[in-house]
Amino acid sequence: MKNAPVSLRLDRQEVSANATRGVLTISGKAGSWYVLEPSGPDSAEEGSDQRIPAGSYRIAPYSSPKYPNAFELKDVPGRTYILIHPGNFHSNTEGCLMPGKVKMMDGADLAVGSSRNAFNDIKAHLNGTSRITIDITNSIVGEE
């Protein structure tokens, strides 16, 4: 395990009827990725299919048959199994964060593209790290 902590920052910037899109950066790493998650408002209600509350969370490795080698946000108020995993469209998530390399649209909804490639990039930066955190902020114009 790497001893140096790694910090991720997700700044939410756009929202559509069913999706929120933001920009993810990793401390000490060049570049950024887009992240798709459900629309707002922020919600602490399990199963709400809305984005989680802005805040700081620990991240730990997570693996299941459906989501092998993913990551989980820990201690999210009122919510469980909030993962970082590949996916391009709102229909691919129920609260999770899905990275992408490009912005796309799915009809009138926000989407991301090249999600698996983006996820693999992020995973390469995080694998073997024992202390990972993410800070999520809302910079969405027109939202409280």
Q: Tell me the pLDDT band of 102, cut-offs 50, 70 and 90.
A: very high
In tens, the pLDDT along 16-39 reads 999 999 999 999 999 999 999 999
Dist CA 72 CA 39 (whole Å): 19
**pTM score over 0.85:** yes
Cβ atoms 34, 112 nearer than 8 A: yes
Q: Tell me the pLDDT band of 94, cut-offs 50, 70 and 90.
A: confident
Dist CA 38 CA 89 (whole Å): 9
pLDDT of amino acid 128 = 85
Domain coordinates in residue numbering, the chain: 6-138
